[in-house]
Structure 1
Amino acid sequence: MVAFGKKLKERQIQEWQGYYINYKLMKKKVRQYAQQIELGTQDRRHVLKDFSRMLDNQIEKIVLFLLEQQGLLASRIAELGEQYDALQKQPDISKMSELREAYRAVGEDLLKLLYFVEINAVGLRKILKKFDKRFGYKFTDYYVKTRANHPYSQLQQVFKHVGIGAVVGALSRNLHELQDSQGSYLSIYDQPTLPLQDPVIHSIKAAVDRLTHSTNFLNFMAQHAFIMQEELPAPTEEHVDDQKYNFMSLLLNLANTFLYMVNTYIIVPTADDYSMNLGAAATVCGIVIGAMAVAQVFSSVYFSAWSNKSYFRPLVFSSIVLFMGNLMYALALDLNSIWVLLLGRVFCGLGSARAVNRRYISDCVPLRIRMQASAGFVSASALGMACGPALAGLLQTKFKIYKLTFNQNTLPGWVMSVAWLVYLVWLWITFKEPVRDEVEENHVPHQSNAENHIDALEEGVKQPLLINPMLTNHVPHQSNAAENHIDALEEGVKQPLLITSERKEDEDADQDYDDSEEAPEESRKPANSLRSAYRLLTPSVKVQLLIYFMLKYAMEVLLSESSVITTYYFNWSTSSVAIFLACLGLTVLPVNIIVGSYISNMFEDRQILLVSQIMVCVGIFLSFNIFFPYTQPQYICSGLVMFVSAEVLEGVNLSLLSRVMSSRLSRGTYNGGLLSTEAGTLARVVADVTITLAGYMGVSRLLNITLLPSFFICVISIIATRCTYNSLY
């Protein structure tokens, strides 16, 4: 707890303490409401009205202070502008340098103000979520709906920081002109693509993007990785632990991600033909493809746990198991055994180290390049997804060496065996195990500074430190529990710290509910099992996981049955199927460029979420073969609409999921990344099993039977999104 106090003290802007959201007061009121409702002395309508009024007052306090500070910053920029005009008439290099530093000082103060807004925005989201969970009401839905779009809305001032944009623009323009020592006649508006090489502007831009959730291509791609970023980084701090980071180790993790995705999809164009050569039905390809996903359900858990202790050893184990699995897959034809084929795919799934790859980026990559590394993780996955089928299309040859058969069915196994063997040698020679902190060596879960801050906001003070009750009556502003703790620590040398039984009971009562509804001593720890992780899921989180399940299910049905469907309806060759799947995979990057650079800056994430779900539903509906003869344009266009919409949906879905998920799920073995991976993997398993079972009813019925569950789940997810729409704020 001493670490909590120290880290929080470093991040508090002491002179602004009285203007922060009074999180502790509102949390205490929620507890009082619960007691009153339980005793029957208060009704629901009064509670909603009283709590709404309290929130309105808190937001008004924040907004008025925000406007005051904006005015002060604007005045300072105006004064500096007058000085700049004077220097234009009588240039002085030393004074120009002083002026530039003065502008940077304004930038630092603006960054503090943005950080202040961000803390309050997080506090508002947390208290709304806590109220909903405590009472089971849709209070957030009501409050956001009535306040967000009202012409006098002060809520928008907090979440959209109206007016700060003008200050950012004025500061950026003036710093750009001061930087331009060559006397160019072009302004920053004439060169929008020319970056301003000033660190304070980069920091301000990052802070503004976090508040507005505006994004770019790299940000949008990074969201797909679901690597939890610090929610509240310090305004001027960019912590980097270079002892943990090694570029070659990062590259090896990205290579592992790429090879695994190639391994997953390289068999899709030929799995049906391979199954028939071994005496099974073509639709058994669903089980062959899905066996890898079944094993991944379990491997994700033990690899996630293993990465708490090491990164090198699980990657070595993964490479060996994948080598053996691909070798069995390649030998199944000569052994004439469908079971060897399935066992080989199971081994490939048991070697899935994606949890390790994601964890390495989250824990060992410096913050300054973590976004690029996360985008690289997703790009490697997308490239592997496209290269897998494309490579299968190139392996159209047949020959024998001794008694070993090499053809389009077995070559994917042989090629991937060699690839994993080469990767294992590369890994053994060049990977560098990162240095682990003492905290990690003692198996205490890693917590970022931002997570400590959020947890302190959520959980209040855990140490029984209390200033004399007589003294507390004279303290006008205590903005939250974390600030009370800091004040208590600071006053420790001046005032006796008293523990009173009354206060102790009050703290215990205040702690008796948290986001997990668990005991106070566990309230800050990460989830230690899937069950405890599930208990942390709010309705909004469950809906986002349902959406993730739906999109992965729809994509798996489209990809896994593509070979069977296209062969039955259009007589496509293996090469044609491979080209189709490769083209689908290649759409990932351009679609993300468009959405990340333009669409996500024009619309809210929740709007894109809803529209992309509807488009997935439209794509599924267009894929049905009901009244007219099934044609190639219908299949290609509907598949493209479904796949592209699902890709767009995945980015915004994981972005929203990271915001509505408890901070306790951002660390430990059973984290949000593992939950989303398990949801997606389970969707793939169910989809592949559905394909195999539907195959027993005939290939002619396969398409419609497998599309029905996709359509049904998609409609349910759209309805669930509408029910939780206003909580995604």
Structure 2
Amino acid sequence: MVNFGKRLMVDQVEEWKGYYINYKLMKKMLKQYVEQTQNGGKDREQVLKEFSRILDDQIERIVLFLLQQQGRLASRIEELGEQRTAILEQYDISQVSQLRDAYREVGFDLIKLLRFVDINATGVRKILKKFDKRFGYKFTDYYVTTRANHPYSQLQQVFKQVGIVAVVGALSRNLEYLQHHEGSFVSIYDHPAVTLKDPIIDQVNHAVQKLTHATNFMQFLGQHALIVQEDGQSGSEDLVDDQNYHFMSLMLNLVNTFLYMVNTYIIVPTADDYAVSLGAAATVCGIIIGSMAVAQVFSSVYFSAWSNRSYFRPLVFSSIMLFFGNLLYALAYDLNSLIVLLIGRLLCGLGSARAVNRRYISDCVPLKMRLQASAGFVSASALGMACGPALAGFLQIKFKIYSLNFNQSTLPGWVMCIAWLIYLLWLWLTFKEPEHFSKSVVNKQSSESGHQGNTNLEEGLAQPLLIGRERNQDENSEDNDDSEVASENSHEPATSIASAYRLLTPSVKAQLLIYFMLKYAMEILLSESSVVTTYYFSWSTSAVAIFLAILGLTVLPVNAIVGSYITNLFEDRQILLASEVMVLIGIITSFRFTPHYSIPQYVISALITFVFAEVLEGVNLSLLSRVMSSRLSRGTYNGGLLSTEAGTLARVIADATITAAGYLGTDLLLNVTLLPPLVICIASIAATLYTYNTLY
């Protein structure tokens, strides 16, 4: 791991050396201020004002130089535009290639300027975090509040580049125009479907998106997977080449993802009826559904460790566990045993190979395809979440073969049992173990922030951009360069849950609390839906299945809207706070305030809660990836695992709450189970407001 000070020395443009942030000086001044405050020479308020002026000077120098360079690039593009006009008038095809090369030269200089802005923006973020670490979490809050929101903000010039984006637009339009038409001079807007991309345009756009956090649907969706995306890696450096990439193995990983999500949600509409048929209360459905999540707490860890050595063997083990788990679930009816049913669900949870699925995409899919594969992972999760309840709705039949009963309660188990058996045979015959298992690959690409992190839709679906290694190690590092020569231990990943917890800042803790809250609220909504709707509205199993399927189908459209538009109009922290408020409104409107509880009230409140929880999950994981220490982006006990455990724990507690509340009577079930998420949601909003300006 290269700390920021070393990266600044290596990556800076020599002729621009005097215009970068003087990070070494800032650290030295910070150290002096620490000593002065400890010795009583200066109070913290005085230090805050003085350090602010020093940082102001640094930012002003960066911004003025940036404006100069923008002007030069704009002038060059204007001159090239005049040449392009002359070529049009003369219809001189021979000069088109030369002109295109000139535009590309501007493109390379533009990328150089974008990297200049990026490294300085990273330096500003890091020095703010370093100050907070030394003096308490006050300086970033003060500095961002007073500088970023001022009408003459120079800080915004570093982080929100309107001027540079305008230059990017002019360059892209002209370069695409010349490349595609080769002198035909037909407007590119006439044939958008066949417009070709120049590699320099792709590099420019990537640099702009990294700098401004601009995103699109594919990136927003891919971020939900928390799969590492190497920002600074060139094609030649990609550890996975096209020859070693095996498409069928990727498909098997995605099918595993899909089937597991189907397996998770296929029992939700009928779990209460199954519990009653075995002599238990309907609210025991909470324990039935939650037992799978209990086992996932452990499986996420051992599957992640196992994937260091193999992908094939853990996938085989996963399929076998899920086969037997569903078999026991189906046989529990004829054995009249709730214990057998719960053991079956525990085995299903122990077969959760989502850590392997993520790890395979990160390690074994070429860089140029990783974004699509990550989005495919999340799409498979979303589709499985919708298909599970929908499939349960179709299984409303009853028959008997010998002494085995097949009905709406047991058929989900039998169907999934057959599905996993077919999958196991397909896996055995066609999966190809990657050839590049080596220590270097494991060390480089297992910054496993998402390898086990965030368990998917249930634990990771709502979330915008892939975690970039460069962003993790530069923007989010708080411990990398505490001294000029940091010890090796300061770069090591956390080795236990306890050591990982010690690395959590208030900002990270707030994001984990938010993740816990949204998972709790979603699990309460989904798991008790069958009991609540049956009691109040007399809904059939098919009606419940349709309702849950509709909720699941909102995932991709909502993420398309948020990823393509909302995240480009507002800051992540603004979307985060607004989504929390909407989830709170959804929870409040879900309460039964009068004896008559109507279907419109329940459906509308459920949609508000579920949809905005999806939005919240996306921006929550995006911010989590930026505020956590780089030491939490690697190793087994990483930020992804912490978020997974937080989400899984929330689901377990929520399902246990449903069963416990059932003892008070079904009439009180709804209001009693909504009280904890209401309180936690209010607490998460307070935590967000407390850390709001550190989420910059």
Q: Give the corresponding residue for 2:596.
A: 629
Q: Give the corresponding residue for 1:161.
A: 161
Contact 1:223–1:652, Cα closer than 8 Å, also in 2: no
> 1:452 and 1:24 mapped to 2: Cα distance?
21
For the residue of structure 1 that corresponds to 2:491, the secondary structure is coil
Moved more, 668-677 or 404-413: 668-677
Tell me by how many angstroms 1:274 deviates: 0.5
> 1:184 and 1:631 mapped to 2: Cα distance?
64
> 1:712 and 1:4 mapped to 2: Cα distance?
40
The one-letter amino acid paired with 1:531 is A
> 2:505 and 2:488 mapped to 1: Cα distance?
21
> 1:253 and 1:445 mapped to 2: Cα distance?
18
Q: Give the corresponding residue for 2:212.
A: 212
Select the residue among 535, 542, 564 that pairs with 1:597: 564
Tell me by how many angstroms 1:674 deviates: 1.4
Tell me by how many angstroms 1:184 deviates: 6.8
Select the residue among 644, 648, 653 that pairs with 2:615: 648
The one-letter amino acid paired with 1:394 is F
Contact 2:132–2:140, Cα closer than 8 Å, also in 1: yes
The one-letter amino acid paired with 1:306 is W
Q: Does 1:427 align with 2:427?
A: yes
> 2:507 and 2:362 mapped to 1: Cα distance?
24
The one-letter amino acid paired with 2:430 is T
Contact 1:112–1:235, Cα closer than 8 Å, also in 2: no
Tell me by how many angstroms 1:36 deviates: 2.2
Q: Give the corresponding residue for 1:171.
A: 171
> 1:58 and 1:5 mapped to 2: Cα distance?
16
> 2:192 and 2:656 mapped to 1: Cα distance?
51
> 1:664 and 1:144 mapped to 2: Cα distance?
25
Tell me by how many angstroms 1:63 deviates: 1.2
Q: Does 1:525 align with 2:497?
A: no
Select the residue among 557, 573, 586 that pairs with 1:606: 573
Tell me by how many angstroms 1:574 deviates: 0.6
Moved more, 186-195 or 624-633: 186-195
Q: Give the corresponding residue for 1:384.
A: 384
The one-letter amino acid paired with 1:560 is S
The one-letter amino acid paired with 1:635 is Y
Q: Does 1:229 align with 2:196?
A: no
The one-letter amino acid paired with 1:660 is V
Moved more, 701-710 or 421-430: 421-430
Deviations 1:525-563 (A, max 9, x none): 121211111122111111111111111100000000001
The alpha-carbon distance between structure 1 residues 421 and 574, as it changes in their structure 2 partners (threshold 3 A), is: same
For the residue of structure 1 that corresponds to 2:405, the secondary structure is strand
The alpha-carbon distance between structure 1 residues 102 and 238, as it changes in their structure 2 partners (threshold 3 A), is: farther
Deviations 1:567-595 (A, max 9, x none): 11111111110000001100111111111
Q: Give the corresponding residue for 2:461.
A: none
Select the residue among 447, 450, 454 that pairs with 2:474: 454
Q: Does 1:718 align with 2:685?
A: yes
Identity %: 71
TM-score scaled by structure 1? 0.88
Tell me by how many angstroms 1:367 deviates: 2.3
Contact 2:508–2:624, Cα closer than 8 Å, also in 1: yes
> 2:411 and 2:69 mapped to 1: Cα distance?
67
Deviations 1:382-407 (A, max 9, x none): 11000000011111111122221111
> 1:322 and 1:310 mapped to 2: Cα distance?
19
The one-letter amino acid paired with 2:628 is M
> 1:118 and 1:2 mapped to 2: Cα distance?
16
> 2:402 and 2:8 mapped to 1: Cα distance?
69
For the residue of structure 2 that corresponds to 1:152, the secondary structure is coil
Deviations 1:666-705 (A, max 9, x none): 2221222211111111110010000000001101000000
> 2:503 and 2:205 mapped to 1: Cα distance?
33
Deviations 1:617-672 (A, max 9, x none): 11111110022510111111111111111111111111111111222222221222
Contact 1:111–1:235, Cα closer than 8 Å, also in 2: no
Q: Give the corresponding residue for 2:362.
A: 362
Tell me by how many angstroms 1:88 deviates: 2.1
Tell me by how many angstroms 1:263 deviates: 0.5
Q: Give the corresponding residue for 1:20.
A: 20
Moved more, 319-328 or 119-128: 119-128
Count of residues in Structure 1 that have an aligned counterpart in Structure 2: 675
Contact 2:389–2:546, Cα closer than 8 Å, also in 1: yes
> 1:649 and 1:521 mapped to 2: Cα distance?
36
Select the residue among 508, 523, 528 that pairs with 1:561: 528
For the residue of structure 2 that corresponds to 1:297, the secondary structure is helix
Tell me by how many angstroms 1:11 deviates: 4.2
Select the residue among 600, 603, 606 that pairs with 1:639: 606
The one-letter amino acid paired with 1:109 is D
> 1:44 and 1:581 mapped to 2: Cα distance?
54
The alpha-carbon distance between structure 1 residues 586 and 452, as it changes in their structure 2 partners (threshold 3 A), is: closer
Q: Give the corresponding residue for 1:241.
A: 240
For the residue of structure 2 that corresponds to 1:405, the secondary structure is strand
> 2:484 and 2:533 mapped to 1: Cα distance?
65
Moved more, 256-265 or 171-180: 171-180
The alpha-carbon distance between structure 1 residues 261 and 234, as it changes in their structure 2 partners (threshold 3 A), is: closer
Q: Does 1:67 align with 2:34?
A: no
Tell me by how many angstroms 1:173 deviates: 2.1
The alpha-carbon distance between structure 1 residues 2 and 61, as it changes in their structure 2 partners (threshold 3 A), is: closer
Contact 1:147–1:153, Cα closer than 8 Å, also in 2: yes
Tell me by how many angstroms 1:7 deviates: 8.4
Deviations 1:256-309 (A, max 9, x none): 111111010000011011111111111000000000001101111111122222
Contact 1:389–1:578, Cα closer than 8 Å, also in 2: yes
The alpha-carbon distance between structure 1 residues 724 and 246, as it changes in their structure 2 partners (threshold 3 A), is: same
Deviations 1:111-166 (A, max 9, x none): 12112211221222122122212221321111111001212211011101231122
The alpha-carbon distance between structure 1 residues 244 and 7, as it changes in their structure 2 partners (threshold 3 A), is: farther
The alpha-carbon distance between structure 1 residues 414 and 2, as it changes in their structure 2 partners (threshold 3 A), is: closer
TM-score scaled by structure 2? 0.92
Q: Does 1:95 align with 2:95?
A: yes
> 2:182 and 2:210 mapped to 1: Cα distance?
34
> 2:647 and 2:200 mapped to 1: Cα distance?
39
Contact 2:477–2:631, Cα closer than 8 Å, also in 1: no
Question: Which structure 2 segments of 5+ residues have no match?
Answer: 448-467
Q: Give the corresponding residue for 2:303.
A: 303
Tell me by how many angstroms 1:104 deviates: 0.9
Q: Does 1:112 align with 2:112?
A: yes
Contact 1:398–1:407, Cα closer than 8 Å, also in 2: yes
Q: Give the corresponding residue for 2:262.
A: 262
Tell me by how many angstroms 1:24 deviates: 2.5
Moved more, 344-353 or 240-249: 240-249
Tell me by how many angstroms 1:168 deviates: 0.9
> 1:457 and 1:641 mapped to 2: Cα distance?
36
Moved more, 179-188 or 77-86: 179-188
Contact 1:364–1:434, Cα closer than 8 Å, also in 2: yes
Tell me by how many angstroms 1:215 deviates: 1.4
> 1:272 and 1:304 mapped to 2: Cα distance?
33
The alpha-carbon distance between structure 1 residues 207 and 193, as it changes in their structure 2 partners (threshold 3 A), is: farther
The one-letter amino acid paired with 1:335 is L
The alpha-carbon distance between structure 1 residues 534 and 188, as it changes in their structure 2 partners (threshold 3 A), is: farther
The alpha-carbon distance between structure 1 residues 229 and 32, as it changes in their structure 2 partners (threshold 3 A), is: farther
The one-letter amino acid paired with 2:390 is A
> 2:501 and 2:362 mapped to 1: Cα distance?
22
Tell me by how many angstroms 1:206 deviates: 1.9
The alpha-carbon distance between structure 1 residues 139 and 442, as it changes in their structure 2 partners (threshold 3 A), is: closer
